[in-house]
Amino acid sequence: MLEFVIRRKFWIKDFIPNAYHDDVVDDALGQQKKNEVEMKSGSSTSADNRLTWTQSLITKRPIRALAKEFAAHKKIKPIDFTTEAYEKNDAKNRYNDIVCIDATRVVLKDRSPENDYIHASWMTMPTDRSIFVTQGPLQEYVGDFWHMIVTEKSKVIVMLCNFNEGKHEKCCFYLPKEKSDIGSYGCYIVSVKSSKPDPFEGIKHTEFDVRWSDNKTFMVHHIAYFDWPDHTAPLDPKPTVGAFKLARTLAHGNPITVHCSAGIGRSATFIAIDYAAQKIRDNAEASMIDVIKDLRSQRYQAIQSAIQYVFLHVCLLEYFAEENAKIRDSKFNDYMESYASMIKRYNKKVEAKQREQSKAGD
């Protein structure tokens, strides 16, 4: 399996041209720029709320305070929920301790009640825009994954893990392993349409054609960020924010599918950028703890760690700064440097612990 991971990376690298020449992506980036201009020229209240929130964060809430804030609320969970479908479909769950809430689960369309389960949840944003988050597909049920993509008309898949990390599978290969391959998953045939140059550092963008009965076709954008480490966070928020903005633009209002391995840490943090940004535009005093409560009412255990919670704030800072350059002052830069120093120290500790565990397992 490790060999496949290496081959997958080489395939993507070798298949990338040198310039962003595809009309679809050009149009998408143009629309993205238009959206950003509209945001900048939007209501003064919206702009003021983003600026007010940013200034409050960087002057009153240091990085350490955010970590402590999460620690004080890390056990938040929905008050009342059931998980009957999850319990009845043990073989379809990647992890036995990551439950799927009945009220928000994605119900597979055109399936009998006995066969309509997938470990995926609808995440409704404040503006009613919908995203669904799911675990990394299991080999035996990749057909269900593609059935969900096609029947829900999800034009964008965001992948925030690698297929294997260390000695563990995080996600099966639900895509063709080589650019010339054709993947067969249940009744769905998946092939590479085109591969794009990296839109942002560490981000891979590939287009796939999906075919099924009567030669029906559906085109899907696959945006992959292989370098976001599990249980921690990237050093630089720019690729994550860039991937988020690109995914939203390419979706054209259709649901976006986001997954990592369990679908609660990296994925929920990514989705929280959209959710929290919308809350802040309406209210400069929007609580990030309330954001966690809202997300966990839809996806159990959403945002797993203090580091991911801190990274959410850093992504929001970067996102708002890209909308309004006036935010980037010396205090903003100092705050970002403080985050970078913290994450470097944390990741070194994580790497050291992983080396020790690896030696113990040999």
Active site residue 260: yes
The crossing angle, in degrees rounded to 10, of helices 266-282 and 288-296 is 130
Question: If we measure between CA atoms, which residue out of 241, 260, 259, 238 comes closest to residue 249?
Answer: 241
Task: Using alpha carbons, list the distances in angstroms from residue 351 to 106, 230, 269.
Answer: 36, 11, 21
Question: If we measure between CA atoms, which residue out of 144, 136, 149 comes closest to residue 186?
Answer: 144
Cα–Cα distance measured from residue 337 to residue 351, given in angstroms and rounded to the nearest whole number = 21
Question: What residues pair up with 35 in beta bridges, in sequence order?
Answer: none
Q: What DSSP designation does 239 have? A: H
Question: If we measure between CA atoms, which residue out of 177, 120, 119, 192 comes closest to residue 1?
Answer: 177
Count of beta carbons in the 10 Å neighbourhood of residue 312: 27
Burial classification of residue 242, based on how many CB atoms lie within 10 Å of its CB (0-12 exposed, 13-18 middle, 19 or more buried): buried
Q: Are 191 and 222 in contact (CB under 8 A)?
A: no
Work out whether the CA dihedral 75, 77, 82, 88 comes out positive or negative. Answer: negative
Sheet holding 130-134, edge to edge: 120-124, 130-134, 256-259, 156-159, 216-225, 203-212, 188-196, 182-185
Give the active site residue among 100, 161, 172, 260. Answer: 260
Residue 65: enclosing H or E segment and its boundaries? helix 63-73
Q: Which residues have a catalytic role annotated?
A: 260
